[in-house]
Structure 1
Amino acid sequence: MKKMNFTRTLVMAAASFGLIATGAAAAQPDREPASSLSELLNRVQQDSREASQSFQQREQEFQQARSQQQALLNQARSELSTLQGQASSLQAQFDANQARIDELDVQLREAQGEFGELFGVARQTAGEFAAAVRSSAISAQYPGRHRVLDRLANSTTLPTREELDALWKTMLREMIEQGNTVVFNRTVANLDDSGEAPVYRVGPFVLFTTQGGAQFLKYDGSNNLLSVLERQPSGRT
């Protein structure tokens, strides 16, 4: 009975080896069939070792690829963390700058409030003085002085240092010239002789010329026009 069981075991083993040999032969069609059980066993062991080595190599490659992917993931996470830190720092700097801008804006409005009345007086003075300068006989000698005053009077923003300087300089010049009697040359519109004529100015009051006889002149500041003052007709006696 024991001998029959042993024989049966051998037959089953041979059948198993035959299946393995068939699979090996299918995987390697150029290999000749094993001639004995011993050769078949050797081939099976060799194929097993080769399969194990191939599996280990693939497993190693997989582990390496996984390690590389993990390294890339870690690098990406690190870069993201760095960028988030930079973004937080920039946001904090932006908030600080915005707070400083708001603070300076408040200070500017307060300063404008303190000087607003002063600048309002300057604009009003410039407007009134521009009208006086425009029609002044002195402007026949120094035309265009009213323009800078008009700009200051009509400005909706804070006046510049140059505009404020122009205001007091124009006022000072007007006061000085009011006490002067001078002669200067310029064109007189309806004078008989063409070209420039000597014009006498007595302060801001009188303009006359002696060219073609003594004649009083009038000045139109709106057009910067100097012309002979028409004589009034003689009254009847």
Structure 2
Amino acid sequence: MKARILSTVLLCSLASFATHATDELAQKASTDRQQQQQVEKQRRAEFNLTEKELNALKAELTAKRDQLQSETDALAKTFGENENTLARLEEQLRLETGSLGELFGVVRQNAKELKSELHFSVTGVSENTHSAVVDDIVAAKSLPSMPQLTGFWQSLLEQINASGEVKKENVTLINGEGQKQQVEAVRIGALGLVTDNGYIEWNGKRGDAVEYRKQPEQGPTLSSLASVLSGDMSNVVLDPSRGIMLEQLAHTPSLSDRLQAGGVVGKIILGLLAVGLVIALVRGVSLANARRKIAAQLKQPENPGDNPLGRVLAVYNKEQNRSVEALELRLLEAVVDEQAALEKGLSMLKLLAALAPMLGLLGTVTGMIETFQVITQFGNGDPKVMAGGISMALVTTVLGLVSAMPLLLAHNILSTQSENIRNILEKQGIGLVAEQAEKTDLEPVGTPA
């Protein structure tokens, strides 16, 4: 009975606990459902707000697009109208100006040429009263006016007249010390300015002049132009290039400049040439004296003198009592001695003639090495940088060839003279041997030799 009661109580307790738990779960579920609905409501409200903002932004952008489109249409319309107006105005300008545009181009081109002439020609020494008009025409962007055209024509006329004048002018000259001084000069048309020291180079930009580094031969001076001022131009050295040829004249090297460009090798070659010429001169004089004495000795063979042929004849006179073979050997000995004396120095002359081109080649190689070193350091953009090495290379080559040619010619001439003298000595020696042989054949048998 008690057990049943306990069971009943336990069941009631469990039912009450289950009911209470169910209520709590239902209440919790209801609370979660309310919170979820509230979150969804909040999110829906935010979405609606975002949608309104986007719609408002879209409407704003659409309005701006429509405004820009309308402005673009208005600008396109205005651009088209402006193009039509510009085309009509251009056509009207073309019809109204006619050939004046071409005339303006010709006038402006000639004005530029005249401006350059006034600034750089020696006629710029004389004042041109209409040079400002020329500058205005060159800088103008519209058609020149009639006063400008008149001034341009008068400036051209002044320039033409100045190019035919021989006139004294006062010129600002910069001397070698860089000091400016006023000197009197004669302007020969548009060709040049001449002072007491010759031609001077006019600089139109600075308005002064400097002297040329080198004057032409028999060039004019201020004192020699008295006849020119009177109109006689027959004896005046003129530069038709207006100074270009005079500038190039300063760059023309003299003989000393060329020899200086040869360097040490060039000096050695010249030294060899001098030694060779001295040897050739000495040997030439000696051989000429020998030929003259031999020619005189041939006329008097019975009186041997102090000359190559006389010494050979003296051997014959001493050896008359010898056999033919002994006489022949003695004469050959004398001829060989004389030949050695005649050819003395010729081998050295030949050596110098062969050595000079080799030294020239050495100078060429040295100059090219220097040129390549300069190219390595500075590049090959400026030819003046390489000019020194190339000049040395070419000058030494020329010096070597120039030295070798006269030395070879002198060696050939002297060798020919020596050979001719040797032939005369051998011919005379053979004759003496033949004469001795004839005497031996004519002697009676038993006669002592």
So what's the TM-score if we normalise by structure 1? 0.51
Q: What one-letter code is carried by the residue in structure 2 that aligns with 1:190?
A: L
Aligned-pair CA distance for 1:60: 1.0
> Kindly tell me: are residues 86 and 124 of structure 1, through their superposed partners in 2, closer, same or farther at Cα, counting changes over 3 Å?
farther
Aligned-pair CA distance for 1:46: 1.1
> Kindly tell me: are residues 40 and 65 of structure 1, through their superposed partners in 2, closer, same or farther at Cα, counting changes over 3 Å?
same
* Alignment counterpart, residue 116 of structure 1, candidates 73, 87, 90: 90
* Alignment counterpart, residue 168 of structure 1, candidates 144, 149, 161: 144
- Aligned partners of 1:129, 1:87: CA distance in 2, in Å? 55
Report Cα offsets for 1:62-88 as digits up to 9, x if no partner.
101211221222122112211210121
Task: Tell me if 1:127 matches 2:107.
Answer: no
Equivalent pairs counted in the alignment come to: 157
Partner of 2:44: 70
Report Cα offsets for 1:140-180 as digits up to 9, x if no partner.
4446666657xxxxxxxxxxxxx33xx235x5422245457
* Alignment counterpart, residue 83 of structure 1, candidates 21, 46, 57: 57
Q: What one-letter code is carried by the residue in structure 1 that aligns with 2:87?
A: G
Say if 2:108 and 2:137, in contact at 8 Å, map to a contact too: yes
Listed as ranges, the gaps of 5+ residues in structure 2 are 1-6, 119-130, 163-168, 172-186, 195-199, 208-227, 232-240, 244-449
- Aligned partners of 1:214, 1:110: CA distance in 2, in Å? 68
Query: Per residue, is there more strand in 1 or in 2?
Result: 1
Runs (4 or more) in structure 1 with deviation over 6 Å come to 180-188
Say if 1:34 and 1:40, in contact at 8 Å, map to a contact too: no
Say if 2:108 and 2:138, in contact at 8 Å, map to a contact too: no
- Aligned partners of 1:46, 1:93: CA distance in 2, in Å? 70
Q: What one-letter code is carried by the residue in structure 1 that aligns with 2:91?
A: E
- Aligned partners of 1:214, 1:196: CA distance in 2, in Å? 27
Aligned-pair CA distance for 1:54: 0.6
Say if 1:130 and 1:146, in contact at 8 Å, map to a contact too: no
- Aligned partners of 1:81, 1:55: CA distance in 2, in Å? 38
Q: Secondary structure at the match of 1:168?
A: coil
> Kindly tell me: are residues 107 and 53 of structure 1, through their superposed partners in 2, closer, same or farther at Cα, counting changes over 3 Å?
same
Say if 1:191 and 1:227, in contact at 8 Å, map to a contact too: yes
Aligned-pair CA distance for 1:189: 5.8
Task: Tell me if 1:93 matches 2:67.
Answer: yes
- Aligned partners of 2:62, 2:86: CA distance in 1, in Å? 36
Q: What one-letter code is carried by the residue in structure 2 that aligns with 1:173?
A: Q
Say if 2:192 and 2:242, in contact at 8 Å, map to a contact too: yes
After TM superposition, the structure 1 = structure 2 runs for residues 1-80 of structure 1, keeping only pairs within 5 Å, are 36-80=10-54
Q: What one-letter code is carried by the residue in structure 2 that aligns with 1:106?
A: G
Q: Secondary structure at the match of 1:36?
A: helix
RMSD in angstroms over aligned alpha carbons? Answer: 4.2
Identity %: 12
> Kindly tell me: are residues 173 and 146 of structure 1, through their superposed partners in 2, closer, same or farther at Cα, counting changes over 3 Å?
closer
> Kindly tell me: are residues 50 and 144 of structure 1, through their superposed partners in 2, closer, same or farther at Cα, counting changes over 3 Å?
same
- Aligned partners of 1:132, 1:116: CA distance in 2, in Å? 22
- Aligned partners of 2:190, 2:72: CA distance in 1, in Å? 62
- Aligned partners of 1:81, 1:105: CA distance in 2, in Å? 35
